[in-house]
Amino acid sequence: MDDLTLIQSNRNPLTEAVYSWSQLLSPVILLITFILATALHGVFTSQKEENALQTEAKGPGGRPLPVTKMRRNPAITDMTEGSFGRASRRTFQGATTLIVLSFAANAANLAAQVMANADRLLPKTSYIADKPPQQWWCREESFVYVVGTGSLYGYVLLTMFDWKDSPNFVHFLVWSVSLVTDSVVLGALFARVSESYTVTSNETLTGPAGNDIADLAIGAFRVANLIGVLALYLSLAGRRTFTVAEKREQEAETQPQSQSQVQNRRRSGSRRNRENGNDETTPLLGQRQTSQNGYVAMNGNGRDRENRRSSQNGTANAAQVSVNGQSVGPNREAEAAFYRPNKLPHKTWWEYARGYSLFFPYLWPRDSRNLQLVVLLCFIILIFQRVVNVIVPVQTGRLVDRLQESLDAVDGRTMPWRDLALLIGTKILQGQSGLLGSIRAILWIPVSQYCYRALTSAAFEHVHSLSLDFHLSKRTGEVLSALNKGASINQFLEQVTFQVFPTLVDLFIAIGCFGWFFNSVYAVCVSVMTFAYLFLTVRMAATRADQRREMVNADREEEAVKNDSIVSYETVKYFNAEDFEFNRYRRAIRNYQSAEANVTWGINNMNICQNLVFMVGMLLLLIIGAYDVVIGARKIGDFAMLITYLGQLQGPLNFFGTFYRTVQQAMISGERLLELFKISPTVVDRPGVRTLPPSVGHIRWNNVKFWYDGKRPALKDISFECKPGTTTAFVGESGGGKSTIFRLMFRYYNCHEGSIEVDGNDVKDLTIDSVRRAIGVVPQDTILFNESIMYNLRYANQDATDEQVYEACKSASIHDRIMSFPEGYNTKVGERGLRLSGGEKQRVAIARLILKQPRIIMLDEATSALDSETEQQIQSQLINGNHLGQDRTLLIIAHRLSTITHADQIIVLRAGMIAEKGTHSELLKLNGKYASMWEKQSKAERAALEARDAARRAEKLARQAKFAKASGKQQDHTDDSDGCYGNTSAGSSTVLQATNALSEDSSTSDDDTHKKPPNDNKTTNPSPPPDL
């Protein structure tokens, strides 16, 4: 091969080393600086955007709950975020643009140098294997510096426009480090320019010196620009710090006055609430605006907000986590924890990591040493897979070189069996579907099942642990949809562990391998292509995030509509609303499909752009590699290795693009479960509580006050005592507080003031479980499981024998009815017990109560669906029967006063207060509210009896008239016309009597209290017809 004209320098070797290494390391140092600064910025920003409220309350399984976000003061937010003005931001953006343009000028200068000397450096002969490969015709250090650093600054410029708080700490740090590196490069370049050039052929080249001078001028401009940018940033930042300090001092001075104004507004608001007359009918979780379609109206940011009071009861909000029955944190408006976001929340990576770290304790098999060993083995296999991914392209290039050597050998051609076998063996091991991947997937099955089982069980247990306020405001379809996301979380974390992190590692290893096996030019090209691909993927996927969120919400809405419609089957039939429900479900499907089409279009558009970026980068690398082979700098095996590695690199890049969408979908899906986990129960056991000893049923209420929404109390100064074995009935208007008393008694809520005692113990000092075990409840609307009747009966006492179940059912007057069913006690009751009538469900609930054998019994209209005879029979069993006995304390809510005349005390509630209290006879003597209610119900009952008797008499007269008419027709065949007239008159007389009786009955009304009862009226019944 002829001597190739090479540019050599007689400069100081130290100068050359500093110049070369400073150019090579500059983009690497800046990249590391940018990544670390961005990560730290995410952590600092997340800490500034929220005040973490730590709590001692535990989540499902005893795990700690995540911190609760509290909204920041808007004034402080304005001072700390986006503090630079528009003009200042444009100045920084313009300065960064000039830096990018300076690197573009360096690139143009480098291209001009290449074009000026290309004819001198073209290869004249082919490559000879025994001579070392020649250096490429362009300085690779300059190429790495210009392309690598310029590309990084291009991305920094994009962040200047994208980030709302730009310029920030990240940009300042990048500018500072860049000033140092560029100054070193500029100083080394200045030293080189001051020296002369020589060449091996004793020719003097004038071109390079001119290009170096141009680079020197461009570098000096860039350094000066960086100095000006840093000086401007420091001056503006210092002034901003001084301004923020002044504003905070002013805010501290005006804070006492603001607090007094807030207190005045609260007092005036309380007066308005009292005037508005909020009572028990107020929504349990605050005022909510409901649209005509029945859905709760949301504010502009897509979150359903409710005002809740910080208290000991079950109305504490999500931001005020209740700890041991006491709410923690300031009394301020906060966001409801369980909401449906309409848009993807803009969170930092640290916020996502901190939020999803809640799931990590459920995913690590801490109780199984065997599963921990399996996890360790899987990670070892994961490391071997990374090694195999490097061996495959290297072995491919080596095999091609061996084949080329065998082809050029003059002493005989040999087959490279060992290299071929090694390539085949590594290909068998490579990939997710390879041998190592399959073994890892098989080993991970029990770990994956453990994770799913732990997470879904914890979510299910957590929902059951939440207080009543959550369950009263939830949509069942929404909660079920969130619970079903356990598989998504498990899949998401598994993909992150075994696909995302390994893929990122493969990308960085690939960059290192291209720099090691080829040179830094290849590494820079791969780096630029990789990060451009990832940036494009993240950016385009982020723009489609809201569309994906809309699709997920539409899917959830479709599930909710379907669930609500099917559960409300009977209501749909009552109003013949089938067509309305069909159209509503079709609209939900169309909304989902419309959102799905938008997401699909965005995915395909992103795929096109991804392939375009990768193909451009691959084309550039193949051109460089082919040129190296042509000039003799590389072997053919190296080119084969390049093609193999690029093809292998396309897989992780394509996977990352696909996986980013998968991660986004999983995070959106898992966000509902995450928000569900963040909700803590508002009524919990306080520290030091004890178990209720065997109860005797002595109940005492001492000046109890309670409110749902922090406005008007639902109960005010409620005091009464229920001695063991007595019966206490609660009556009054709807919304008077009867159901609230039962809820407080069962510890669904805690009272705000006063105390509730059971056997002399404050219920707040007792465990919730022990209090509830001592109380038996029969609700007005009984809900049964979709299981057999025996299953529902034994739900109260799993150890009950069949004989005990039968006796309980006999006491509840339901045994004979159950035995009349074809399958008896094995009869399925249907969902929510829909296959049973209302009275049958109530009697099953009473039988369950008997099986539980509680000391305290609460009946909430428990016999409202029964007839009077069965009702009296059951009450006799409950009060005096052998199953419960007389030592049980009964609390009864009743609207039919005739069912509670036997009560030891009757409490009349009105507007949350006790209006009257005493026995039936005592209250009648008072001639107050109870006496008025009794009088009205007595009139109504007498009117009902009169109407029923009149209906019976009318039915009897109608039968007699029909019978007389039939007798007259038979006599027409034998009698003459006189007989015919006589029969007609008799029939008409009978019908007339029936008509008169109906008229008399219909004239009786509830207002005719002066009339005597029907049995006192002299009513002439028609004589029976003669015998035929």
Question: pLDDT tens, 129-164?
Answer: 444 444 445 577 888 899 999 999 998 999 888 888
Three-state DSSP at 8 gives strand
Write down the pLDDT at residue 40.
85
Which of 203, 231, 252 is a domain's end point?
Answer: 252
Question: Comparing C-alpha atoms, which of 1014, 24, 856, 65 is closest to residue 462?
Answer: 65
Residue 281 maps to a domain: no
How many domains is the chain built from? 4
Last residue of a domain, one of 233, 252, 271: 252
Tokens of 902: 């036997």
- pLDDT class of 571 with cuts at 50, 70, 90: confident
Q: Could you tell me which residues come within 8 angstroms of residue 414 by beta carbon, excluding any fewer than 6 positions away? A: 406
Residue 387 — very low, low, confident or very high, per pLDDT cuts 50/70/90?
very high
Residues 627 and 510 in one domain: yes
Percentage with pLDDT > 70 across the chain: 68
Q: How far apart are CA 696 and CA 723, in angstroms?
A: 9
Q: Would 7 be classed as within a structural domain?
A: no
Above 60 in pLDDT, residue 284? no
Confidence of residue 564 (pLDDT cuts 50, 70, 90): confident
Query: Tell me, what's the pLDDT at 246?
Result: 66
Q: What is the pLDDT of residue 549?
A: 76
Closest by CA to 296, choosing from 309, 310, 286, is 286
Cα distance between residue 223 and residue 724, in whole Å: 90
Quick one: tokens of 6? 């090479």
Higher-confidence residue of 547 and 662: namely 547
Report cis status (omega within 30 of 0) of the bond before 693: no
Q: What is the pLDDT of residue 286?
A: 36
Q: Report the pLDDT averaged over residues 158-177.
A: 88
Distance CA 774, CA 350 (A): 47
Q: Tell me whether residue 905 is in a domain.
A: yes
> Within this chain, do residues 932 and 968 fall inside the same structural domain, yes or no?
no
Bridge-based pairing of strands 753-758 and 326-327 is: unpaired
Q: Residue 81 falls within a domain, yes or no?
A: yes
* Distant-in-sequence contacts of 871-879, Cβ < 8 A, 24+ apart: 871/899, 872/899, 873/813, 874/811, 874/812, 874/813, 874/843, 874/846, 875/899, 875/902, 877/811, 877/812, 878/846, 879/727
Task: Quote the pLDDT of residue 53.
Answer: 42
How far is residue 262 from each of residues 256, 331, 332, measured CA to CA in Å?
10, 12, 11
**775-778 vs 856-860, strand pairing mode:** parallel
Q: pLDDT tens digits for 39-86?
A: 888 777 765 444 444 444 444 444 444 444 444 444 334 434 446 788
* Segment 856-874 mean pLDDT: 70
Distance CA 769, CA 691 (A): 8
How far apart, in whole angstroms, are the C-alpha atoms of residue 310 and residue 68? 14
* 761 and 888 share one domain: yes
Q: What is the CATH number of the domain that holds 369?
A: 1.20.1560.10
966-1007 pLDDT, tens digit per residue, is: 666 555 554 444 443 444 443 444 333 433 433 444 344 434
Give the span between the Cα atoms of 520 and 113, in whole angstroms: 19
Average pLDDT for residues 548-553, to the nearest whole number?
A: 81
Task: Give the closest residue to 443 by CA, choosing from 362, 378, 397.
Answer: 378
- Using a pLDDT cut of 90, give the percent of the chain over it: 14
700-755 confidence digits (pLDDT tens): 999 998 888 766 778 888 899 999 888 899 998 888 888 889 889 888 888 888 89
CA dist 308 and 749 (Å) reads 14
Q: Is 205 helix (H, G, I), strand (E, B) or coil?
A: coil
CA nearest neighbour of 721 among 699, 695, 697, 696: 699
pLDDT at residue 518 is higher than 60: yes
Of 985, 1021, 896, 911, nearest to 277 (Cα)?
911
Q: In terms of domains, do 910 and 836 share one?
A: yes
Residue for token pair 């399959």:
438
Question: DSSP states of 861-886 as a string?
Answer: STTTTS-HHHHHHHHHHHHHSTTT-T
**What does DSSP assign to residue 305?**
B
DSSP3 helix / strand / coil % (the chain, rounded to 5): 65, 10, 30
- Domain of residue 188: give its range: 12-49+66-124+135-252
Q: Are residues 664 and 635 in the same domain?
A: yes
Choose among 1002, 995, 1000: nearest CA to 1017: 1000
CATH, residue 806: 3.40.50.300
Assess if residue 327 is contained within a domain: no
Residue 331 lies inside a defined structural domain of this protein = no
Q: Domain check: are 638 and 747 in the same one? A: no
Please indicate, yes or no, whether residues 568 and 491 belong to a single structural domain of this protein.
yes
User: Stretch 849-869: mean pLDDT, rounded?
Assistant: 77
Mean per-residue pLDDT, 170-180: 93
pLDDT digits (tens, 9 = 90+) for 422-440: 999 988 998 888 899 899 9
Using pLDDT thresholds of 50, 70 and 90, give the confidence band for residue 181.
very high
544/653 same-domain check = yes
Mean pLDDT of the chain: 74
475 and 564 in a single domain? The answer is yes
Per-residue model confidence as pLDDT tens digits over 672-700: 777 777 777 878 888 888 888 888 889 99
- The verdict on residue 690 lying in a domain is no
Domain shared by 719 and 784, yes or no: yes
Q: Is residue 493 part of a domain?
A: yes
Which residue type does 727 have? T
- Tell me the residue ranges of DSSP E strands in 81-228: 197-199
Residue 62: the pLDDT is 47
Give pLDDT tens digits for 996-1007.
433 444 344 434
- At 5 the pLDDT is 39
Residues 624, 522: Cα–Cα separation, whole Å: 8
One domain, residues 416 and 516: yes
Mean of pLDDT values over 542-550: 74
Dump pLDDT digits (tens) for 787-820: 898 998 988 888 888 889 998 898 888 898 899 9
Boundary residue ending a domain (918, 936, 954):
936
CA dihedral 276, 281, 285, 291 (to 10 degrees): -80
Compute CA 37 distance to the chain's CA centroid, rounded to the nearest angstrom.
30
Based on the fold, state whether residues 657 and 763 are members of the same structural domain: no
Q: d(Cα 1001, Cα 949) in Å, to the nearest integer?
A: 9
The CA–CA distances, whole Å, from 729 to 18, 703, 857, 930 equal: 95, 19, 11, 12
